[in-house]
Structure 1
């Protein structure tokens, strides 16, 4: 009975670890930077993934700092990125997305933050508990991959719709030009064959 109860608590912790995952989508105006934070303890794991879904050249600046303000991760003008780390200090870890270099276009950014909060030492776990933790981690990887594919599908759909609109208007412009050239040619040829009478 004690083993079943212990397995129940491990399964509950694994489910809570999955609920710790947060998927967010934000809009960054030109010259804007948005920062978020996570309170962590020594040994906690965190993974930050982001994907730019629209706007400009699909690039942003990303940085992550520790509680002392030391830079842990920085990526300039990229459309996607992943960073995972283990906290070495207790405190507030801050991650920021910036569109500071853009003068006109706003960007849409989707990002996920997930992690494992270790409440107990792994060495005392039973094999089934290890399997549950691995299962929770694999489910998280699957969710991340699915969210990435959804974002890529959205980017490709927007590109296809934009291309379709441009092709449509280019076809309309070509049709108007062909009609105007035909009208001019008919007028010009008709004028060449007019009979001119001398007075």
Structure 2
């Protein structure tokens, strides 16, 4: 039990679960006031899972759409007229920002006001945190401590993978910096050589000019 508690604390410290709750006011179709979006940077080939919960509200229809934050990006998940609580999961395709947009559209014939809104709860998990370990536990008949160890193993692997990506980015930036410095170095040398040649040519030209005018 002691080790289980320690593992739970470690997982709580390492895992990051993004959750937010907000009020979404209703508006007419196409109104920017009836929309609210969130953007999160997620790498490629990453499992994403989450939950969307919406409170009751008369004459309102809440929808959610998850896409890449680029023009003509991929549509990962979409749900119209959410009534209660829904879950979603998908795997990212590219290393792009993920855009989660909520819309609360008011039925025709009703005027938008402060009384028309619905509370929305959004929870997003990525990587190892998004995996359904309950199914894995049933299949492999794992004990609670073994499940926590499996979670911790996945998180550590994800951290190592992220560190490798950061290391590779650092190498790429260093190579780019060194290449830029080398180009600047050669450009400076060629500039100095050009200025020296230009100065010598000017001296030669001025000497010829004065000799022609018989000034020297």
Could you say which structure has the larger radius of gyration?
2
